[in-house]
Amino acid sequence: MRYMSTRGQVRDLSFKDAVMMGLANDGGLLLPKQIPAIDTTQLAAYQTMSYPQIAFDIISRFTGDDFDQNDLRELIERSYATFDHPDVTPVTKQDGVYILELFHGPTLAFKDVALQFLGNLFEYLLEERNEKMNILGATSGDTGSAAIYGVRGKDRINIFIMHPDGKVSPIQKLQMTTVTDENVFNLAIRGTFDDGQRIVKETFNDLDFKANYSLGAVNSINWARVLAQIVYYFYAYSRVQPETGCEKIDFSVPTGNFGDIFAGYMAKRMGLPVDKLILATNENNILSRFVLNGDYSVGDVVETLSPSMDIQIASNFERYLYYLLGEDSESLCGLMESFATSKSLQFDGQLQAKVREDFDSLTVDKAATVDQIRDFHQRTGYVLDPHTAVGVRAGERLSDPDVPVVCLATAHPAKFGDAVQQAIGQDPERPASLDGIEQRDSRCELIDAETEKVKAYLAQRAR
Ligand SMILES: N[C@@H](CCOP(=O)(O)O)C(=O)O
């Protein structure tokens, strides 16, 4: 199994090197050269396998022979032992829709599924290579704490996480800033998540800086993030298919940075019988406009009730474009260059039709999000977080009545108490991990959204 960049200049990496490289050194994103296929016999076998067993089966198809398989199995088991549910990502049926609960990890969001794994993977690879790493990441709310929990206290790693000041929920902020381990640095940037993501990319694209400070990536620009997220699509299918008897399945995915839904797209390419991937967005609906009209043009970031999706430029979109353009790096580079200056891409009817073979989409605004949380709670007693509400709204509106729909529950409602309170007039139940969080010590620095300032900050505190 070898890896190459969407932009064609990085051509032949091992899995381990791809994980360590994060963003490809030519500015593109890394992808496996071949996509392993999972056949119907294996799909059936998953029905009696646990989450970690399925995870091992899938992940090991992407790691190649130089990864000791016993070590990999142990690493995966350890990563999911931190979840508070025996099924890791349980599926529950509520009023006709299946909810895939991805929020049973330490920081109550789907990001834990990949970042518990990636934290352990980094530790393992750094030990093996006798190296150190400085992680630089950007978050709109959930990746930050999940990444911090994935690597806190780890010997060879320092982590620097930027979040947009004042634009994440109070609990999201506390989950990051109350981790005061020596290796954790929180930066509140004066800007948006897109500024943070731009700073990450500009810093990684300075190849001398990247090498001098051994930069590591925890955002979904890192292939290992996408890989670990592919697993739960197969897991959900293995639990829902036997119950419904239906061969096909729809997934509805609250979408911001396009990493989660891209993992679903990869699962489909591997052979998972996905009928439709429903891309659910809030008012920051650049991806929805792309799916419905071929219009990928950047607007201003709007603050919504689902802050983790307050994103305009979705980094994994490039991975999808690579496939959409027939794996043609040259055309992709042309498009990315033109996007860098114009901030807009328009796709013709033929490409739009190709997109619609896999995706459908709906924009769910603030009022509809509140209405969805309230209405769903009245119908089922189940409390949705605002991101999941966006996904469930889209799933209920767009799925085919003959095809079961699985909605990805990306975060626990307790992370977004204000939105829930607004919708149902009561606070969501609080998991024990949040007990006393407001009283804990916290540490965070405010900084301008300028790449050079962030680089200087990191350089002074690097391992
Ligand atoms: N929604 C994310 C934004 C970063 O996305 P990632 O998947 O690339 O880490 C967040 O909550 O931080």
Question: Looking at ligand 1, which atom is closest to the CA of residue 163?
Answer: 12
| pLDDT on residue 209 | 98
Residue 12 token pair: 């032949």
Beta strands in 180-270 (DSSP E): 184-190, 215-216, 249-254
Nearest CA to ligand 1 atom 7: 220
Instruction: Give the pLDDT mean for 236-251.
Output: 98
Instruction: Give the sheet arrangement for strand 157-164, strand by strand.
Output: 215-216, 133-138, 157-164, 184-190, 445-448
Which residue in the list 16, 111, 173, 415 is annotated as catalytic?
Answer: 111
> How many residues belong to the chain?
463
| pLDDT on residue 136 | 98
Nearest to 18 by CA among 160, 225, 192, 196: 225
Average pLDDT, the chain: 98
| pLDDT on residue 64 | 86
Instruction: Give the sheet arrangement for strand 91-94, strand by strand.
Output: 91-94, 97-101, 405-409, 249-254, 274-281, 359-363
pTM given for the model: 0.98
Q: Is the CB of 222 under 6 A from ligand 1?
A: no
Alpha carbons 4 and 244: distance in angstroms, whole number: 39
Nearest CA to ligand 1 atom 4: 139
Q: Is the CB of 399 under 6 A from ligand 1?
A: no
Alpha carbons 462 and 183: distance in angstroms, whole number: 9
| pLDDT on residue 404 | 98
| Cβ count within 10 A of residue 284 | 28
Q: Is the CB of 116 under 6 A from ligand 1?
A: no
H/E element, 173: helix 170-177
Instruction: Give the pLDDT mean for 434-447.
Output: 98
Are 386 and 231 in contact by the 8 Å Cβ rule? The answer is no
| pLDDT on residue 65 | 85
| Band of pLDDT at residue 104, cut at 50, 70 and 90 | very high
Q: Are strands 295-297 and 344-346 parallel, antiparallel or unpaired?
A: antiparallel
Q: Is the pLDDT of residue 167 over 90?
A: yes
* Phi/psi at 281 (5° precision): -125, 160
Alpha carbons 184 and 148: distance in angstroms, whole number: 7
Nearest CA to ligand 1 atom 11: 142
Q: Is the pLDDT of residue 376 over 90?
A: yes
Q: Is the CB of 142 under 6 A from ligand 1?
A: yes
Alpha carbons 66 and 59: distance in angstroms, whole number: 13
Alpha carbons 38 and 99: distance in angstroms, whole number: 24
| pLDDT on residue 320 | 98
Catalytic: 111?
Answer: yes
Residue to mutate (ligand 1; options 108, 143, 315; most atoms within 8 A of CB): 143
All structural domains of the chain: 91-108+224-424 (3.40.50.1100)
User: What confidence tens digit (pLDDT) does each residue in 79-97 have?
Assistant: 999 999 999 999 999 999 9
User: What confidence tens digit (pLDDT) does each residue in 25-67 have?
Assistant: 999 999 999 999 999 999 999 999 999 999 999 999 999 888 9
Give every CB contact of residue 321 below 8 A, 6+ residues apart in sequence: 6, 332, 335
Q: Is the CB of 139 under 6 A from ligand 1?
A: yes
Nearest to 345 by CA among 287, 258, 262: 287
